[in-house]
Amino acid sequence: MQFGILVNEGPYNHQASDSAYQFVKAALGKGHKIFRVFFYYDGVNNANKLTEPPSDDRNITKRWSELGKAHGLDLVVCVAAALRRGIKDEVLADGFRISGLGQLIEAGVHSDRLIVFGD
């Protein structure tokens, strides 16, 4: 099965990003494909490389970057939501890219299921 993933919440204020990450990791482990992970609303904060969590906390941005690199995931950040939050290409973590809502539509069209994490 091929999944599209939509992450609507930031990395440290809601469980949605952690849940999405664990879902993607488990799905890949079971042999499923991930068409795209799209970060929208506050979810764009998952792509900010300037985030510095305490050393005893998980680094969600780094986790997404590493998972994306290991599996060739398309990690797309909504341009409008990103700009509203001051996120530009210069602050994107490795593996993330900025694009428009058309990428979310495409993920929905080309995936068997579009799974939404967060409100």
Domain of 46, CATH number, reads: 3.40.1260.10
Q: Residue 24: name the closest of 79, 86, 95, 81 by CA.
A: 95
First to last CA, the chain: 24
Residue of 16, 44, 78, 82 marked active site: 78
78 is catalytic: yes
Residues 7-20, buried b or exposed e (16+ Cβ, 10 A)?
Answer: bbbbbeebebbbeb
Output the pTM of the full model.
0.96
Is residue 85 within 8 A of residue 51, CB to CB? The reply is: no
Query: What domain count does the chain have?
Result: 1
- The domain in which residue 105 lies consists of 2-117
Per-residue pLDDT of the chain (119 residues; tens, 9 = 90+): 999 999 999 999 899 999 999 999 999 999 999 999 999 999 999 999 999 888 888 999 999 999 999 999 999 999 999 999 999 999 999 999 999 999 999 999 999 999 999 98
Mapping DSSP to helix (H, G, I), strand (E, B) and coil, where does residue 89 land?
helix
